[in-house]
Structure 1
């Protein structure tokens, strides 16, 4: 049995990971799916305007108070920034890192730095005009890839505007701080990924201590390929991947 923490990304919450969480728990693993402050089941805290440090602390305090060691972290999208900082802050506790269509930052970068100039201008402009400069509107969520209309509606109905401060604060750690993590995987969905995520994937593939793999899906493999996603995370937990 392994301790696994699943970290969500922009506009979502812990609920995003439910299909994968259920598979991993059935397999006997100890799985945590926290929501960031102001997101998901913690949307009632949205007025706190959480920044990246707050979201990092959400995960760090979970690990500390649950007394987790030898933990596997799996992050999606924006959650990759949080994973990178946690691995740097808690090097003795993190044994595996799975970046699932996730940001793999260099020191000094924020999530908005990883967007194209056009997308950055669009989302920040909408932040100002639609959300008072505090949140990024959830309408910018990337394509889910779900074919069932009811299922997609259930997903979209739980998304929420994302606190912009968390996306504008740069990380202090970077990918070099992951050297101590024994098992590292970068996964990219081959359909509709961003150019930056593709470059991060190429970087991971060129490293001798990383595994780079590709899923034939869109941005949310935990929804479209839950079994494959769970198997990949479990492989890191068991040392098989």
Structure 2
């Protein structure tokens, strides 16, 4: 049995993993969706002091809970993060990588030490719009959920049913701005930890595009050619837990089994 700890992205909570968790449990695994402080049914706990470190501690506490059980009960632990969730997930993993078997990034960028979520956004206009929205509509510290037309924030909604969109609109919570402005601090302790990237190809990028970057010799991407890192493509928008939860669950199981396309010169695992 594998334990999958599932960390949601911005504006959402553990509720968004419901169908994925059901699929994983149905085949005998353990699934632990994480609801970060201020999100989902914990939105009432949000405040001006809710920052990235708060969310890192949330994930760390779930990992502590998982690790407190009998070893044969929890099995290996795979930490899965969607979008913004990569920041609290990696921050928590950095504190104790030995308790994890693998990190899985679902349509998420890889956080860089000393860089905040907002600073990592390539478009300064988006950064300014988000900060202005918090000032004008969120008492200076919280970001109301964007409209679905703002795909530069939500990402592609391709594949989500009307029911799924209704759920996203109904349960989305304001994001505390300090979670996006506080730089992440990493020690590099996860450098040897295996990781998997799942790209939603109707959103921004794909394995093929990343392979070209690795092959180009750009030092920013060279490490991704290491055989510890595997990759999958999923033909959907940015929210596969809503658009194709069964397919996403299957890829999480394959990631846990160390499958996935390798980007280095010699593929060491089947795609």
Alignment TM-score, normalising by the size of structure 1: 0.89
Distance 1:149 1:70, change over 3 A: closer
Q: Secondary structure at the match of 1:105?
A: coil
- Aligned residue pairs: how many? 237
Give deviations 1:83-120, integer Å, cap 9, x for gaps: 21122111210111110011311111111012121111
Equivalent residue number for residue 267 of structure 2: none
Structure 1 segments unaligned to the other structure (5+ residues): none
Query: How big is the shift at 1:2?
Result: 0.8
Equivalent residue number for residue 125 of structure 1: 132
Q: 1:1-241 to 2 correspondence within 5 Å? A: 1-47=1-47, 49-66=49-66, 67=68, 70-115=76-121, 116-139=123-146, 140-173=153-186, 176-181=188-193, 183-193=194-204, 203=221, 205-241=224-260
Distance 1:102 1:134, change over 3 A: same
Query: How big is the shift at 1:240?
Result: 4.5
Contact 2:232 2:251 in 1 (8 A): no
CA distance in 2, matches of 1:83, 1:222: 17
Query: Which has more radius of gyration?
Result: 2
Alignment TM-score, normalising by the size of structure 2: 0.80
CA distance in 1, matches of 2:40, 2:157: 17
Question: Which portions of structure 1, spanning 4 or more consecutive aligned residues, are displaced by more than 6 angstroms?
Answer: 198-201
Equivalent residue number for residue 218 of structure 2: none
Distance 1:205 1:212, change over 3 A: farther
Query: How big is the shift at 1:205?
Result: 4.7
Give deviations 1:19-73, integer Å, cap 9, x for gaps: 1110001111111002001100111112364111111111111111332673100
Contact 1:205 1:212 in 2 (8 A): no
Higher deviation after alignment, 133-142 or 10-19: 133-142
Structure 2 segments unaligned to the other structure (5+ residues): 69-73, 147-152, 215-220, 261-271
